[in-house]
Amino acid sequence: MEKFLSFPISGSTTQLFSVTGIAIIEQTAATTTTIAYKAGNASGDIITITHASVANDDFRDFVQKQVAAALQTPWTQPVLEVTPPVAVSNIALA
């Protein structure tokens, strides 16, 4: 069953992204967190979340907890709406 997180984007709307097939979540800087997906090739998809400054991997920890919570919901609830601890300005897939 596919599961998704719904993130609010500042000054915009919300963005959905899948929590299925995640290989690793990393906070690469104070203002960016990446989610790398498993892939059949070496260059899997990477989502980059740009957010307000957060230190000590706190945003990564938040995302990891939300992924775990989404995966624990019943199959009839495929989307988990989240409230990030800081503003999110962009979510991009590369």
The token pair at 80 is 């988990």
Domain count within the chain: 1
Residue type, 91: I
Give per-residue pLDDT as tens, 14-72.
999 999 999 999 999 999 999 999 876 556 799 999 999 998 999 999 999 999 999 99
Q: What is the pTM of this model?
A: 0.91
The stretch 65-82 carries a mean pLDDT of: 96
Residue 56's domain comprises: 4-93
3-state secondary structure of 55: coil
The token pair at 7 is 């993130």
